[in-house]
Amino acid sequence: MAIENPCFWNEFELKQPPLVTLQVEDTGFAKNVFVVINRFLQQLSEPDAKDFDETAALIGRLMARRKNSFRNMPGFRAVCKLNAALCRLLRLDLARDLEQFRGALPDACDADLAGAMPTRSSLEFILVRLLGFFHLHERIRDCCITAATYFTQLLRNNFFMDFTTLLIAAIAKINKLSIMQASKSATLYNKLRLQVTKFPQVDKHKFLAENQELPLKLQPLKSTLNETKDAATPALVLKPVKVITKVEKAKLKAKSDVGTVIARDDTPAQCVTKTKFNEEALATVADAQQFIARESKARKQNPPPDTCLTKKITKHEWLAAQTLFQRKLSKDPVKALSIFRKFIVSKIK
């Protein structure tokens, strides 16, 4: 069966087989192995790899700075998991294992020359490390999409504008660089996997158990979930909002003016009208404070009455709206009232 159990490839202290070499008659295939490993190591030292480390450090600092503010939000839990995966990737140190294996390859690789080659177990250890590297980037991709989905919704509701904008930008960058590294590691794995049978094997130093088998091929990661067949989340794209001037609004209103709508008198008496929200009820800060007190009292009832306008708003969104309103109130009451009113209008329709 294929190795898909994370208890194997995801171990930090994975026992490495002894790096021994055996004499073989044909060393021509070792040249291709040396070239693909050397190319991958060069890619790890490119500027994109340094940007990956810097962005990962930025995400860690942002998480630590606002840990108390967002610890109960689902999106922040995804950021914590993302930071844990980035720290685990740092401890993996794939480049060190590749350099050690590359150093054991013969200097002169020729089909007509004999030479000392590392054993098959050493190559299988490298392949397992590449599996761990690839699956960690797969987890990073999933955490990025989950976190960005949540914080994009906060951004649309004008919550924590500065912080969420910076966080989404960092998540987008780490997601892009992670997919690039995952694709390179999948390419290296697929090329090395074809060379396994050409390496000499020592029964005494077997690395894989009899019921374990390496996957034949790794598929490159997709950038978004909607590119897969079982997509459940749309692409995270912020569409620009078209600005409509007052003149255009007047023209649209003139075109849509088709007369005065007259209510019918034959409406059934037993028909219950739905309670509608009038945003003019939040004209002042005092109105907003009274609205928060009234709605908080109604939300505590189980179930909330029909007069509760905010019963469809989730608990953490309602608490976040109150917290933001109280923070902004002391500095800029007008801005605090405007943000709170926009949030309520967007939620109550």
Range of the domain at 161: 6-226
Q: Is residue 172 part of a domain?
A: yes
pLDDT in tens, the chain (349 residues): 344 444 566 666 678 888 888 888 877 788 889 999 999 999 888 888 788 989 999 998 888 877 776 667 778 888 889 999 999 988 888 999 999 999 888 875 555 567 788 888 899 999 999 999 999 999 999 999 998 888 888 777 777 777 788 888 999 999 999 999 999 999 999 999 999 888 888 877 778 777 778 888 998 887 654 443 343 333 333 344 455 676 676 767 666 655 555 555 444 444 444 455 677 778 888 888 888 888 888 888 888 887 888 888 888 888 888 888 888 888 888 888 888 888 888 887 6
Dist. CA 56–CA 50, nearest whole Å: 10
Element (H, E) at 116: strand 115-118
Q: Is residue 319 part of a domain?
A: yes
Tokens of 168: 């989404």
Q: Which residues pair with 23 in a beta bridge?
A: 116
Cβ burial, residue 198 (10 Å; 0-12/13-18/19+): middle
Q: Are residues 141 and 218 in the same domain?
A: yes
Q: Are residues 209 and 118 in the same domain?
A: yes
Q: Are residues 142 and 67 in the same domain?
A: yes
Domain closes at, from 191, 226, 261 = 226
Dist. CA 288–CA 294, nearest whole Å: 10
Q: Is residue 257 part of a domain?
A: no
The sign of the dihedral angle between the CA atoms of 137, 131, 115, 198 is: negative
DSSP state of 2: B
Would you state the pLDDT for residue 70? 67
Cβ burial, residue 132 (10 Å; 0-12/13-18/19+): buried
Report which of 117, 129, 139, 134 is spatially closest to residue 34, judged by C-alpha positions.
Answer: 117
* DSSP calls for 89-108: HHHH-HHHHHHHHHHTS-SS
Q: Is residue 310 part of a domain?
A: yes
Contact 225, 236 (CB under 8 A): no
Q: Number of structural domains, the chain?
A: 2
Report which of 144, 147, 98, 99 is spatially closest to residue 125, judged by C-alpha positions.
Answer: 98
Would you state the pLDDT for residue 262? 54
State which amino acid sits at residue 334: V
Q: Are residues 345 and 206 in the same domain?
A: no
Q: Are residues 284 and 219 in the same domain?
A: no
Report which of 271, 333, 344 is spatially closest to residue 308, judged by C-alpha positions.
Answer: 344
Kindly report the CA angle at 56 between 53 and 61, in degrees rounded to 5? 125
Dist. CA 11–CA 28, nearest whole Å: 34
Dist. CA 242–CA 249, nearest whole Å: 12
Residue written as token pair 């003149």: 247
* 3 state SS of 117: strand
Q: Is residue 237 part of a domain?
A: no
Spell out the alpha helix ranges (H) of 157-304.
161-193, 246-256, 285-299
Q: Are residues 189 and 309 in the same domain?
A: no
Q: Are residues 182 and 72 in the same domain?
A: yes
Q: Is residue 239 part of a domain?
A: no
Report which of 220, 231, 233 is spatially closest to residue 145, judged by C-alpha positions.
Answer: 233
Q: Are residues 202 and 304 in the same domain?
A: no
Dist. CA 49–CA 144, nearest whole Å: 18
Q: Are residues 159 and 61 in the same domain?
A: yes
Would you state the pLDDT for residue 309? 81
Element (H, E) at 21: strand 21-24
What distance, in Å, lies between the first and last C-alpha atoms of the chain? 54
Report which of 80, 69, 84, 225 is spatially closest to residue 149, judged by C-alpha positions.
Answer: 225
Q: Is residue 143 part of a domain?
A: yes
Domain closes at, from 194, 226, 258 = 226
